[in-house]
Structure 1
Amino acid sequence: MSSISLIDFMYQPLDVLSGDSYSARSINSSLSFYLLVDGMGKGLSASLSSMLITSFINHTIDNMKKEDNFDFHKLIDKSLDYIKPILLEEEALSIDYLLHDDKKKLLHYAKFAMPAILMQNNNHKIIKLKSNNTPISRYIHDFKVSSYNTSDITKYLFYTDGMVENSTRFKNKLYIEYIEKDFLDSFTKDAMKERLLWKIDTPEDDITFIFINSLDLKNTIIAEKSFITNFNEIENANEWYTTIWESLTDDVKKRYDAGVVFTELYMNAYEHGNLKLDTETKHKLIENDIYLQTLQEIQKDCTKKIFITINKITNDSINYIVTQVSDEGEGFDTEILSKIFRNTKSFNGRGVFVSRNSSLGIYYNSKGNSVLFLHKV
């Protein structure tokens, strides 16, 4: 794999009734769909319209995927036909419909009165894609879909206007004056969020953005190794990983945090990935004091391996260590991760929760048999 895209979201509604909504869907191995909706105005009407069209679009995508006939233009057309009769006389919606084709390196977009998309290319220059359609009202009749070649694009920022129209701590200046530089300087969503929240006085509207960073994993490898699925190899893997980090930094805290995350996610690959041990069974084995004994038995017939790749990527003079742990198991439904992160008291998935909080973020592939995590050195 030469590159991988890390996709992150920030959703910060101003009130319970939010006019903003978003969605991100994997259509197939090469197509990814992104949606941003901003109901103009505040209150129940904007919130309801935003929620309704987002739900309808997700439902339509589900049906198209079932029938294997996804059509971007038809999706937009059907959603407009659905929402137009619902909108009030003077009500309008701003929407981004975005479809990225990773195979053909094309971004197809229909932007209805949304702020410009920001993209960063290989030369660290900003490219902006402005809206190509008017706001959605009950009187809109047609729309335009445009395409942009993304072969040299490394980062993307899609956002609603609540982000750029917010006042800042600097007199008479809105955040729109700072967003491009902050985007260039940010390697992760959290870095972008930190820069944003430091500059604005207080949020004055719903803030929603999607931050995508495509990492070069081909030319930045500093170490890689595979391990057999054996309990004794866990210690060997930890020792190897520790040695790598000792060569990267003298900061004991950073080395400790990286080690915690590695141990947790390596164990997940060993237990749940290659050995297919589910969480409920694991807890019963521990309660009956036969956990280690059972692992020894199961692993005898396992020929699968665990693969570790470590990359060092430099951004804005800062080095980031990217560790990827992959197993040869069947994977899992990664939708459960959102439940784990919302319910921090749940015992199930605590390792994943701890890992996310001891790193700059963890990212599973769609299958659930490979996880990537970041640290700064």
Structure 2
Amino acid sequence: MNSTNSKYNFDNFSIKKKKNRRIEELEKREEYTTYQEDLAFAKELNLLRNDFYYQMVESEQVFLIDFMYKPLDILSGDAYSARKIDNDRAFYLIVDGMGKGLSASLGAMLITSYVNHIIDTCIFDLYELVDKTIKYIKPILLEEETVSVDFILINHKTEQLHYSKFSMPRSLMQTNSGEIIKIKSNNPPISKYIDNFILSELDISNITKFLFHSDGMVENSTRFGNQLYAEYVENDFLTSFTKDDLRAKFLWKIDEQEDDITFIFLNKLDLNSATIATKKFSSTLEDIESASGWYGDIWATLTEDAELQGMAAIVFSELFMNAFEHGNLSIDSANKHKLLEDGIYFDTLEELSKGCPRKISVNISRVEHQKNSYILTSVRDEGDGFDTEILSKIFRNSKTFNGRGVFVSRRSSLGIYYNSKGDKVLYLHKL
């Protein structure tokens, strides 16, 4: 090999080596960036507080509470909070920072974090909360920067809605007669120069559904020429029984998401007058089989759709078993896994069920909405309940073994909702 070829091979090797080193550096940098983005998004999720994650509120009626939080980027200009103030009151916050990127995200997250801190540490008063939040954020905002915010308080006992809306889109409410009522903003956006604000209230005794949302939803363009989704939101809300109904209608009408999207969907139901079947079962293995047969027989009278019957049966089996083993027999997940590993799980169930006085109550209701029928089933045990906050971890990680039955139940229904104690669960299907 002559010297020219040797020098060429050496130069070629050196170029490849530098290129490979550069690729490795870029891969490490990209990996680090991804890691930081994941941390940032995890931090955002931790700042967003949701006391109603897959929960319902039980008062004179049942409130089903659902959320859609869909950031456009890792750093979201939207944020929300949903807090249980006491047994009668629930507070909802939606924040929409001006523009996009880091500045909008920081503003939204600072307000959300501060509001949660006030709720956690002070006696709740809506006027004081709004006043303190404005005073906190004003020095932080830039000269031309504004923030749009919804402060919403619902008192389920007095059936009053108190609100202070700062340049947010109109909230929607549906009456018993199907009329849509719009709640306009009663304040300008929050800026460095805002001094006063208005707090208003409404009677909601005749309201059945609520929709609170950021502008990313209604200002999104649609596949229908130059029309924004604002042209369709009222009718879609009117014809939607659940959050998933509205979400599906929205996603079908838009070509692509253009901004952060946040909405809170509440459905108030009077199930007492809608009951079609109810029964109590003992905490025995025999009654588990009996309950499944009873439930299957009822569904056979409701629909001939074998697939729908099967999905309803799966959910009932999972949640009834949870009520039996975790609720009435007080077997926690760790103990259950140990019993399964030791091969004595069913023997233990049979032994613990002997003489157990606790019952499992099942109630089935049928609700009509927009010419559609929905079947709502509730299963209630007489155990100590559980901390429903663990549901957020279950649904964020579907591969987790603990709570797998709850995840399967959610996938096989239109929604599952626990009461605050965790001793009752409600789920629904559409006929």
Q: TM-score range by the shorter chain?
A: over 0.9
Residue number in structure 1 paired with 2:64: 6
User: Equivalent residue for 1:38?
Assistant: 96
Distance, in Å, in 1 between the alignment partners of 2:137 and 2:251 is 33
* Equivalent pairs, count: 373
For residues 277 and 139 of structure 1, the distance between their equivalents in structure 2, rounded to whole angstroms, comes to 57
What SS does structure 1 have at the residue aligned with 2:105?
helix
Alignment equivalent of 1:242, drawn from 284, 293, 296: 296
Report the equivalent of 1:121.
175
Residue pairs, 1:167-206, within 5 angstroms: 167-206=221-260
Q: How does 1:331-370 map to 2 (within 5 A)?
A: 331-370=385-424
RMSD: 0.9
Give the letter aligned to residue 171 of structure 1. G
Whole-angstrom CA distance in 1 between matches of 2:114 and 2:91: 14
Counterpart amino acid of 2:74?
A: V
Residue aligning to 2:311: 257
C-alpha displacement of 1:301: 3.9
Give the TM-score, by structure 2 length: 0.85
Q: CA deviation at 1:86?
A: 1.1
Q: Secondary structure at the match of 1:260?
A: helix
Corresponding residue of 1:278: 332
CA distance in 2, matches of 1:296, 1:62: 44
Q: 1:355 corresponds to which letter in structure 2?
A: S
- Is 1:93 the counterpart of 2:147? The answer is yes
After TM superposition, list the pairs within 5 Å mapping 1:142-181 onto structure 2: 142-181=196-235
Looking at structure 2, the residues matched to 102 and 83 of structure 1 have their Cα atoms a distance apart, in angstroms, of 30
Is 1:106 matched up with 2:160? Answer: yes
Q: Which residue of 1 aligns with 2:347?
A: 293
SS at match of 1:37: strand
Is the counterpart of residue 25 in structure 1 residue 83 in structure 2? yes
After TM superposition, give the deviation of residue 2 of structure 1 in Å.
4.8
Partner of 1:211: 265
Between structures 1 and 2, the one with greater helix share = 2
Aligned mates of 2:98, 2:213 — CA distance in 1: 14
Q: Distance in 1 between matches of 2:330 and 2:125?
A: 37
SS at match of 2:383: coil
SS in structure 1 at match of 2:132: helix
Say yes or no: does 1:15 pair with 2:108: no
Contact 1:8-1:210 at 8 Å conserved across structures: yes
- Alignment match of 2:187 (pick from 123, 128, 133): 133
Q: Deviations over 1:40-78 (max 9, x none)?
A: 1111010011011101111111113xxxx2111111111
TM-score relative to the length of structure 1: 0.98
Percent of paired sites with the same residue: 60
Distance (Å, rounded) in 1 between the aligned partners of 2:285 and 2:266: 36
Tell me, what secondary structure is at the counterpart of 1:247? helix
Distance in 2, matches of 1:38 and 1:301, equals 56
Say whether the 8 Å CA contact 1:2–1:217 is kept in structure 2.
no
Contact residue 60 and residue 157 of structure 2 kept, 8 A: no
Match of 2:109 in 1: 51
SS at structure 1 position matched to 2:308: helix
CA distance in 1, matches of 2:114, 2:69: 20
Per-residue CA distance 1:301-349 (angstroms, 9 max, x = gap) = 4211111000001111111000000111111111110100111111000
Q: CA deviation at 1:22?
A: 0.6
Q: Quote the offset at 1:300 in angstroms.
A: 2.3
Gaps of at least 5 residues in structure 2 are 1-58
After superposition, the C-alpha distances for 1:250-272 in whole angstroms (9 at most, x for unaligned) are 00000000000000000000111
3-state secondary structure, aligned to 2:361? strand
The amino acid across from 1:329 in the alignment is G
1:296 Cα shift? 2.0
Distance (Å, rounded) in 2 between the aligned partners of 1:370 and 1:189? 21
CA drift at 1:202: 1.1
Tell me what 1:73 maps to: 127
Q: Which residue of 271, 277, 295 corresponds with 1:223?
A: 277
Measured against aligned partners, the alpha-carbon deviations of 1:216-267 in whole angstroms (never above 9, x if no partner) come to 2011100000111112110000000000000000000000000000000000
Question: Cα gap change, 1:142/1:236 in structure 2, threshold over 3 Å: closer, same or farther?
Answer: same
State the distance in 2 between where 1:42 and 1:79 align.
Answer: 21
* Counterpart Cα distance in 1 of 2:198 and 2:166: 9
**Paired amino acid for 1:5:** F
Q: Conserved in 2, the CA contact under 8 Å of 1:223 and 1:311? A: yes
From 292, 308, 313, the equivalent of 2:367 is 313
Q: Residue 127 of structure 1 aligns to which amino acid in structure 2? A: I
Larger-Rg structure: 2
Q: Structure 1 residues 91 and 174 mapped into 2: Cα distance closer, same or farther (>3 Å)?
A: same
**What is the rounded CA distance, in whole Å, between the counterparts of 1:168 and 1:59 in structure 2?**
38
Kindly provide the amino acid, as one letter, of the partner of residue 391 in structure 2: L
